[in-house]
Structure 1
Amino acid sequence: MLPLTERSSPNQTAILSHTEFLLYGFPGVSVSRSLLLIPFLSIYLVILAGNGLIMHRIWAEKTLHSPMYSLIFLLFAVNVSCTSAIVPKLLLGLAFGLNHISLDGCLLQMFVIYLVVTFESALVLLMALDRYVAICRPLHYHLVMTNNLLVLLTFVGLARSVLLISPIVILISRVPFCNSNVISSIACENMALLSIGCGNISRINLIGLLVRILVSIVDGSLLLVSYVIILSTALKAARGQAIHKALHTCCTHMLVAFLIYLCGLLTSVVYRLDASISVNVQNLVSAIYYLFPAAVNPVIYGLRVKEIRVCLKKTFRVKNTDHEVVSKRTIVRISRPGESPIN
């Protein structure tokens, strides 16, 4: 374990500023730390399998090559990217005690995590736009929601995420870390890093708060207004099965968006109450925020979106059919001459 250092005086800050840290999630758990490996590994494998399977079906099935399913594909790719930036390092620490991480590695992890989290919010907004055009302007849907527009809006959302996150990461990279080199978190989050920094961090806190307001409140408000318009338009149209199908898909997107913003709000509240909540509880809430939506989203879309559900059933049906064919061929091969193979 890396040694802890006492708070240094201002003239010692540049000398004692750490460049290597100990990423030590769940510091209150010592004896049974290895037992945490089982649930986190299981959840990570579920995330990879669930998201990867639906991504594969969307990629392989030509009938799903539409803007809505492209956005779902990107959402699942974001889920895998965010969890892959966190869980492997956490598992190495729990299993083998490989908790060391450099300052550059920590900043890179932070950048990737917050980049995909803010990009996820942009994707949810794009899903709302797609449903708005599909329900409120159905005759112009294929003219408006083209592949070129989808690529452009996706690039704008990604660029927005880079512009929002880069200043925070750059400012944190200039903070002297002279209080401690132990990060009591499951990942290199900005609040966890700033808690062991010294010097004036008020500007970074202000920028972080503004980014949180922009992503959570502004995006959430736009999302709420858009779905209110969508629902009111759909209820006025009332065209039977087509509107019912559109509303069903719309409600699925709303459920996923609600889950994402609810977990984000829970994390913000817990961090603001850090004086009365233990570090382990904060880490548990962070794990829920990063892992729970990624694990549940494939289940939501797999159960509620008919086209994805049909493709998944087709996949398993083909696999079962191939297995039966192979079994019959094997039986025929091992049957003796003159005997009828078992059917």
Structure 2
Amino acid sequence: MTTFNLTLSEPSAFILMGIPGLEAAHIWIGIPFCACYVISLLGNFTVLFIVGKEETLHKPMYLLLCMLALTDIGMSTSIIPKALCIFWFNMKGITVGGCLTQMFFVHMLSIMYSAILVAMAFDRYIAICNPLRYTTILTHARTSNLGLVCLTRAVLFTFPGILLLVRLQFCGNHIIPNTFCDHVAVAKLSCGDITVNKAYGLVIALVVIGLDLMLNALSYGLILRAVLKISSKKSHQKALNTCTAHLCVMLLFYSSGLFSSFTYRFGQGIAPHVHILLANLYFIIPPMLNPIIYGVKTKELRDKVRTHLQKVITCGHQFYTFVTPFFLAGLLGSRPHSQGG
């Protein structure tokens, strides 16, 4: 049996430095990070609530959107809370187990995110190119199985990277110039040969993103061919509108991911703090914007959100109308007593 030599008695923990070179601005940098996180949580939990509440939205498209929302919440949560602890409270230490756990979820959720986008492209392909068989092809059970396949693939691609780190020996340096534990950043702390680790990270990035981009391009190529055959301009526009939100999300995710990955590995002329900011924005911006994009571009979801928002505003107004007289009566009734005292 292979034994893994993780000599982490030295160090027993790692130090996350945040954004090197911008330490003086950490407090201010934490404000937009926190704002993005709050918006991301509100937006994605709203999507989950609306889809769960409305039976008319229990369709494969919206079930996949819920999977994406859960992934968004996981991605931002695996990064931002620890980053805020570094920025605002100078809590830079992270245990070895915590570092490996964070790394696993960061990379696993990123790979799963990409797989869900492929599943959503497949959903749009069936809906537009074979609409009469849509409900029979993409049943709830098959949609759930798609989600399970996405999760399994992500775990299988991520786990070997953890094992490659476990085999390394860490000598003295335990400072990570980042806000989170990244595979390559942690591997660079080792005093051993990390050629395999670097190759693994690059191959996974190219294979996952390359394969998923190819499948997405194939789906939308077939969709475009089907749409061009539609004679009615109204139907033409309706078919394209159903794909607009998904295309915006894909462009946002893959462009930021590729740019961050390649500048991190090959952009030696770029300042370190730029690398770190790009890596963080990759995990922060898409989870924040996705629910906004789908809320704006998807009419059915937008209408349901508006309906529930109107109910909340109405309930808030009724509560205010009910409570205000008691509040005013309490204030007026307390004045004589206070004067008499």
**TM-score for the superposition, normalised by structure 1:** 0.89
Q: How far is the alpha carbon of 1:15 from its aligned partner? A: 8.4
The structure 1 residue matched to 2:78, chosen from 76, 85, 88, is: 85
- After superposition, where does 1:21-60 map in structure 2 within 5 Å? 21-60=14-53
Conserved in 2, the CA contact under 8 Å of 1:168 and 1:204? yes
Conserved in 2, the CA contact under 8 Å of 1:16 and 1:178? no
Which residue is 2:122 aligned to?
A: 129
Alpha-carbon distance change, 88 to 333 in structure 1, aligned in 2, over 3 angstroms: closer
The structure 2 residue matched to 1:204, chosen from 197, 203, 214, is: 197
The structure 2 residue matched to 1:172, chosen from 157, 165, 184, is: 165
- After superposition, where does 1:55-134 map in structure 2 within 5 Å? 55-134=48-127
Counterpart-to-counterpart distance in 1, 2:306 and 2:244:
22
Counterpart-to-counterpart distance in 2, 1:218 and 1:15:
36
Which amino acid in 1 is paired with 2:44?
N
The yes-or-no answer on 1:141 pairing with 2:134 is yes
**TM-score for the superposition, normalised by structure 2:** 0.89
Q: How far is the alpha carbon of 1:186 from its aligned partner? A: 1.4
More deviation, 180-189/38-47: 38-47
The structure 2 residue matched to 1:263, chosen from 251, 256, 277, is: 256
**1:296-323 CA distances to partner (integer Å, 9 max, x unpaired)?**
1111111110011101111111122223
- The secondary structure found in structure 1 opposite 2:23 is coil
The yes-or-no answer on 1:248 pairing with 2:264 is no
Q: Percent identity?
A: 32
Conserved in 1, the CA contact under 8 Å of 2:122 and 2:219? yes
Which residue is 1:152 aligned to?
A: 145
- The secondary structure found in structure 2 opposite 1:142 is helix
Q: How far is the alpha carbon of 1:58 from its aligned partner? A: 1.1
Counterpart-to-counterpart distance in 2, 1:333 and 1:190:
59
**1:132-151 CA distances to partner (integer Å, 9 max, x unpaired)?**
11111111111100011111
Alpha-carbon distance change, 16 to 235 in structure 1, aligned in 2, over 3 angstroms: same
Alpha-carbon distance change, 334 to 14 in structure 1, aligned in 2, over 3 angstroms: closer
Q: How far is the alpha carbon of 1:35 from its aligned partner? A: 2.1
Q: How far is the alpha carbon of 1:67 from its aligned partner? A: 0.4
**1:256-295 CA distances to partner (integer Å, 9 max, x unpaired)?**
1111100111112211234212221111101111101111
- After superposition, where does 1:220-259 map in structure 2 within 5 Å? 220-239=213-232, 241-259=234-252
Q: How far is the alpha carbon of 1:251 from its aligned partner? A: 2.0
Which amino acid in 1 is paired with 2:260?
T
More deviation, 130-139/205-214: 205-214
Which residue is 1:286 aligned to?
A: 279
Which amino acid in 2 is paired with 1:118?
I
More deviation, 93-102/267-276: 267-276
When the two chains are superposed, the root-mean-square deviation of aligned CA atoms in Å is 2.1
Conserved in 2, the CA contact under 8 Å of 1:107 and 1:173? no
Q: How far is the alpha carbon of 1:16 from its aligned partner? A: 7.2
More deviation, 298-307/27-36: 27-36
Alpha-carbon distance change, 101 to 321 in structure 1, aligned in 2, over 3 angstroms: same
Which amino acid in 1 is paired with 2:288?
A
Alpha-carbon distance change, 239 to 147 in structure 1, aligned in 2, over 3 angstroms: farther
Which residue is 2:265 aligned to?
A: 272
Conserved in 1, the CA contact under 8 Å of 2:86 and 2:179? no
Counterpart-to-counterpart distance in 2, 1:139 and 1:273:
48
Q: How far is the alpha carbon of 1:14 from its aligned partner? A: 5.2
**1:62-121 CA distances to partner (integer Å, 9 max, x unpaired)?**
111100001111101101101101111111111111111111111110000111100011
Conserved in 1, the CA contact under 8 Å of 2:176 and 2:185? yes
Which amino acid in 1 is paired with 2:280?
A
Alpha-carbon distance change, 17 to 244 in structure 1, aligned in 2, over 3 angstroms: same
Alpha-carbon distance change, 274 to 198 in structure 1, aligned in 2, over 3 angstroms: farther
Alpha-carbon distance change, 101 to 236 in structure 1, aligned in 2, over 3 angstroms: same
- The secondary structure found in structure 1 opposite 2:316 is helix
Conserved in 1, the CA contact under 8 Å of 2:75 and 2:106? yes
- The secondary structure found in structure 1 opposite 2:14 is strand
Which residue is 2:304 aligned to?
A: 311
- The secondary structure found in structure 1 opposite 2:193 is coil
Alpha-carbon distance change, 217 to 329 in structure 1, aligned in 2, over 3 angstroms: same
